[in-house]
């Protein structure tokens, strides 16, 4: 396994923590070449004054670490203090892989930091008396309906604090290459009209992207302007921002920081996140810190102090939540946390928002009582890493300016000492679920064996009973406990210190699993689901220029039943063709839930889940191994999947591609080894045991030629 492959794996799994999107690349990744370490260089724009050498050195140290070990190919940071830019810099890779100074005007996708813009936009309308955030959403979007009467209880506030009860996210055709297709938001109300809620509105907060897409629609309806126009008129122009844009704006795309696969220095096509309210804004580190002045009440002519104060309230405590007070999660209105640790340790109030698309990642941390903000944006990596690194840079700045006297040392951990466990804790054994899977928890000899958590950031290990109703991990970094909550659910609660070498650590407290009741099903239903056990289904309606094809696991559903046969992939089986979400987990792990709905057409089984249509693996045929063949894109979808037969393995494939059509070739480990839209090439060598997906417009014919290499 190459070093760049290791970086790629680490980068992809960490991004899952923030966005729940994985970017794993398996051993033998053909795109990757080793990243050559070198000393970073930084540009300090003339607009930055009063810079601290120690803070600058810390920023250099953090960016170096991100680029050396965490898959980052470009990074930009800025600190603003009292309205003045006091630190700015960064590094990027050129097409040969050499580190270069980054321009302060290089634009990055800021992912979910975009949620702060749409929240602020809605609150501007509150200031004008046009919106009341405690009124039902239907007051402003009367055509918002769901197949669940509880939708009428959803207020605007619940969209902002993630407590609406919505399933979470519609990602289909959202993050595209050189394509600003708005079909996702255009179809959102129609998609939601067929869906149910997973919990009572206001019951608890759990991350929900769709809520901010609904806010985007609200802003447009109430203001009478497109959302992009609203941002330009009400945010960018008053603040003098030139690089804060959306994919729907007209601007020089060469300003966008290039996105690259780790180790592959050629630029990928521009990434457009076409879910503007959720994650579609581009900006720079400097302009993010300028906007942060609005968020902490320093521009009352744009957003009132009353509104910014309301946004900074601990909304997450209004519903079911973990008891811990030291946490990376703690929702306000829009904010991921309004009391971010470790700043509370120093008696400083800090608010933060992180963001991830597929290729861009961002972190914004603001100290409202000190009028200080830091932004760190990257191509590659993860917002988790950005937030951790930005925290350490900001702590150094606070110390350099005598706002804090010392920086607390990194935590240390000791191997736990096991104690005798009360037998009463055996009641917590049984079947549990998280989104997408079920697990059986067994307590044996005072120990619980737990698989890896938080997308492998927490390793698989045993947790031993250490007293006070708690189990401690073998490495001493995590505490496990069981909570019976007021919503009548029992949860596995985790408190953990995640350590990221060379950039710092993060304290997390969250509910990982929810205990399930037994769900007996009759024999015919059990038999129908048993036939699907282990079977994979592949998305057929994702556009071929989607960044999601970088990791086909995102576009695949593999059915996994629990031992009793009553649950599948964290859903509760209802009948032979339907299973409904069973997961109601606060904080983060209960996000992006789904139902499973099967149907058949012309003898082919299809799956509807998370707004996408998937086709059974049984309907995926073998690619024609003849020298000449034609693949036609069906009217019912955007793509066709094929298995690569042994008779075609090793041959060179050439495809005559219509405009906007393309293909992706995967090896047996689902590693992309040919991606026409990324490479610009219409040829690829076909690997043994791999798959290929062709895409284009309905009815288009792709002419294929196979020949010996």
What mean pLDDT is predicted for residues 143-157? 98
- Compute CA distances 215 → 200, 218, 314, 499, whole Å: 19, 5, 20, 35
What mean pLDDT is predicted for residues 145-158? 98
- Residue 19: pLDDT band by 50, 70, 90 thresholds? very low
Could you tell me what percent of the chain has a pLDDT over 90? 87
CA distance 111 to 280: 6
- 48 or 237, which is more confident: 237
Sign of CA dihedral 96, 92, 107, 381: positive
Residue 86: its pLDDT value, please?
Answer: 97
**Residue 387 and residue 356 in contact, taking contact as beta carbons nearer than 8 Å:** no
**In this model, does residue 39 exceed pLDDT 50?**
no
Sheet (strand 628-632) strand order: 628-632, 701-708, 651-656, 683-685
CA distance 418 to 429: 19
**Residue 386 and residue 354 in contact, taking contact as beta carbons nearer than 8 Å:** yes
- Compute CA distances 328 → 18, 164, 363, whole Å: 11, 21, 12
What mean pLDDT is predicted for residues 416-423? 97
**In this model, does residue 668 exceed pLDDT 50?**
yes
Residue 366: its pLDDT value, please?
Answer: 98
Contacts of 587 (CB under 8 A, 6+ apart): 205, 206, 207, 321, 322, 329, 509, 510, 511
**In this model, does residue 49 exceed pLDDT 80?**
no
What mean pLDDT is predicted for residues 450-462? 91
Residue 410: its pLDDT value, please?
Answer: 87
Q: Which residues of 44-68 are buried (b: 16+ CB within 10 A; e: fewer)?
A: eeeebeebbeebbebbbbbbbbbbb
3-class SS of residue 74: strand
* Mean confidence (pLDDT) of the chain: 91
- Residue 672: pLDDT band by 50, 70, 90 thresholds? very high
Q: Token digits for 422?
A: 């009360």
Calculate the CA 459 to chain-centre distance.
Answer: 20
CA distance 408 to 411: 9
Give 259: exposed, middle or buried? Use CB within 10 Å, 0-12, 13-18, 19+: buried
**Residue 456 and residue 15 in contact, taking contact as beta carbons nearer than 8 Å:** no
Contacts of 490 (CB under 8 A, 6+ apart): 428, 482, 483, 484, 514, 515
Q: Token digits for 312?
A: 């900074």
**Residue 28 and residue 667 in contact, taking contact as beta carbons nearer than 8 Å:** yes
What mean pLDDT is predicted for residues 39-49? 39
Sheet (strand 672-675) strand order: 639-643, 691-695, 662-666, 672-675
Query: What beta strand segments (E) does 404-545 contain?
Result: 430-434, 437-441, 443-444, 447-450, 461-467, 470-473, 478-484, 490-500, 504-515, 536-539
Residue 709: its pLDDT value, please?
Answer: 80
Q: Which residues of 163-186 are buried (b: 16+ CB within 10 A; e: fewer)?
A: bbbbbbbbbbbbbbbebeeeebbe
Sign of CA dihedral 661, 667, 668, 669: negative
Residue 552: its pLDDT value, please?
Answer: 86
**In this model, does residue 296 exceed pLDDT 60?**
yes
Residue 699: its pLDDT value, please?
Answer: 92
**In this model, does residue 633 exceed pLDDT 70?**
yes
- Residue 635: pLDDT band by 50, 70, 90 thresholds? confident
- Compute CA distances 70 → 7, 607, 698, whole Å: 6, 36, 40
CA distance 197 to 188: 15
| Verdict on whether the full-model pTM lies above 0.85 | yes
- Residue 502: pLDDT band by 50, 70, 90 thresholds? very high
- Residue 38: pLDDT band by 50, 70, 90 thresholds? very low
Instruction: Tell me which DSSP letter residue 235 carries.
Output: I
**In this model, does residue 7 exceed pLDDT 60?**
no
Flag the least confident range among 56-60, 211-215, 286-290, 634-638: 634-638
Flag the least confident range among 6-20, 123-137, 529-543, 607-621: 6-20
Could you tell me what percent of the chain has a pLDDT over 70? 92
- Residue 13: pLDDT band by 50, 70, 90 thresholds? very low
Element containing residue 63 per DSSP (H, E)? helix 53-69
Q: Among 327, 318, 276, which residue's Cα sits nearest to residue 163?
A: 318
What mean pLDDT is predicted for residues 231-256? 97
Flag the least confident range among 296-310, 372-386, 565-579, 622-636: 622-636
Residue 263: its pLDDT value, please?
Answer: 61
**Residue 633 and residue 694 in contact, taking contact as beta carbons nearer than 8 Å:** yes
Going by their DSSP bridges, the two strands 612-616 and 470-473 should be labelled as: unpaired
**Residue 494 and residue 478 in contact, taking contact as beta carbons nearer than 8 Å:** yes
**In this model, does residue 489 exceed pLDDT 90?**
yes
**In this model, does residue 183 exceed pLDDT 60?**
yes
Residue 52: its pLDDT value, please?
Answer: 58
3-class SS of residue 604: strand
- Compute CA distances 47 → 43, 104, 286, 294, 590, whole Å: 11, 10, 10, 20, 44
CA distance 352 to 389: 13
Residue 551: its pLDDT value, please?
Answer: 86
What mean pLDDT is predicted for residues 449-460? 90
- Residues pairing with 245 in the sheet: 282
- Residues pairing with 75 in the sheet: 91, 378
Q: Token digits for 73?
A: 């190919």
CA distance 625 to 179: 33
Going by their DSSP bridges, the two strands 74-81 and 108-109 should be labelled as: unpaired
């Amino acid at each position: 396994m190459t070093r760049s492959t290791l970086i790629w794996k680490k980068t992809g799994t960490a991004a899952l923590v923030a966005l729940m999107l994985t970017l794993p690349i398996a051993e033998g990744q053909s795109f990757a070449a080793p990243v050559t370490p070198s000393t970073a260089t930084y540009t300090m724009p003339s607009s930055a004054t009063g810079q601290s050498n120690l803070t600058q050195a810390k920023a250099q140290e953090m960016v170096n670490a991100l680029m050396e070990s965490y898959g980052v190919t470009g990074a930009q940071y800025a600190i603003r203090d009292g309205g003045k830019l006091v630190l700015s810099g960064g590094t990027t890779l050129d097409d040969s892989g050499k580190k270069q100074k980054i321009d302060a005007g290089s634009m990055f996708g800021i992912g979910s930091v975009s949620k702060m813009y749409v929240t602020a936009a809605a609150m501007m309308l509150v200031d004008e008396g046009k919106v009341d955030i405690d009124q039902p959403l239907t007051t402003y979007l009367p055509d918002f309906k769901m197949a669940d009467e509880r939708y009428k209880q959803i207020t605007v506030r619940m969209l902002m604090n993630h407590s609406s009860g919505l399933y979470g996210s519609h990602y289909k055709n959202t993050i595209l290459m050189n394509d600003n297709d708005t079909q996702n938001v255009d179809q959102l109300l129609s998609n939601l009209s067929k869906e149910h809620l997973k919990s009572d509105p206001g019951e608890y907060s759990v991350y929900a992207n769709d809520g901010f897409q609904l806010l985007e629609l609200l802003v447009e309806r109430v203001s009478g302007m497109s959302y992009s126009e609203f941002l330009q008129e009400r945010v960018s122009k008053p603040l003098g921002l030139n690089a804060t844009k959306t994919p729907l704006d007209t601007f020089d795309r060469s300003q966008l920081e290039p996105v690259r696969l780790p180790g592959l220095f050629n630029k990928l096509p521009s990434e457009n996140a076409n879910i503007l309210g959720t994650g579609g804004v581009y900006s720079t580190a400097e302009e993010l810190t300028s906007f942060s002045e609005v968020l902490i009440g320093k521009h009352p002519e744009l957003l009132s102090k009353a509104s910014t104060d309301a946004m900074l309230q601990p909304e997450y405590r209004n519903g079911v939540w973990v008891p811990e007070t030291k946490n990376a999660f703690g929702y306000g209105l829009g904010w991921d946390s309004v009391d971010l640790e470790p700043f509370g340790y120093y008696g400083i109030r800090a608010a933060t928002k992180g963001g991830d698309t597929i290729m861009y990642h961002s972190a914004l941390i603001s100290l409202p009582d000190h009028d200080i903000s830091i932004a760190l944006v990257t191509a590659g990596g993860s917002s988790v890493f950005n937030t951790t690194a930005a925290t350490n840079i900001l702590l150094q700045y606070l110390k350099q300016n005598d706002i804090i006297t010392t920086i607390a040392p990194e935590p240390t951990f000791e191997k736990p000492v096991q104690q005798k466990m009360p037998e009463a804790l055996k009641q917590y054994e049984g079947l549990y679920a998280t989104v997408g899977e079920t697990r059986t928890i067994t307590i044996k000899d005072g120990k619980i064996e737990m698989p890896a958590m938080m997308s492998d950031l927490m390793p698989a290990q045993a947790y031993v009973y250490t007293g006070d109703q708690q189990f401690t991990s073998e490495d001493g970094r995590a505490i496990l406990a069981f909570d019976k909550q007021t919503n009548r659910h029992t949860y596995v609660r985790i408190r953990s210190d995640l350590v990221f070498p060379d950039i710092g650590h993060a304290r997390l407290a969250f509910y990982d699993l929810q205990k399930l009741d037994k769900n007996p099903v009759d024999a015919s239903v059990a038999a129908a689901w048993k036939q699907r056990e282990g079977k994979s289904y592949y998305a057929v309606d994702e556009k071929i220029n989607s960044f999601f094809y970088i990791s086909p696991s995102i576009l695949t559903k593999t059915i996994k039943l629990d031992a009793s046969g009553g649950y599948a992939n964290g859903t509760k089986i209802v009948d032979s063709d339907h299973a409904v979400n069973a997961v109601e987990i606060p904080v983060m792990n209960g996000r992006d839930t789904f139902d499973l709905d099967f149907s058949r057409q012309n003898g082919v089984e299809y799956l509807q889940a998370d707004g996408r249509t998937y086709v059974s693996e049984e309907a995926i045929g073998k690619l024609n191994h003849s020298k000449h063949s034609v693949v036609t894109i069906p009217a019912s979808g955007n793509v066709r999947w094929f298995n690569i037969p042994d008779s075609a393995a090793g041959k060179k494939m050439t495809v005559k591609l219509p405009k906007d059509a393309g293909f992706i070739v995967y090896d047996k480990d689902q590693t992309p080894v040919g991606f026409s839209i990324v490479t610009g090439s219409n040829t690829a060598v076909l690997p043994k045991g791999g798959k290929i997906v062709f895409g284009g417009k309905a009815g288009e014919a792709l002419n294929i030629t196979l020949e010996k290499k």
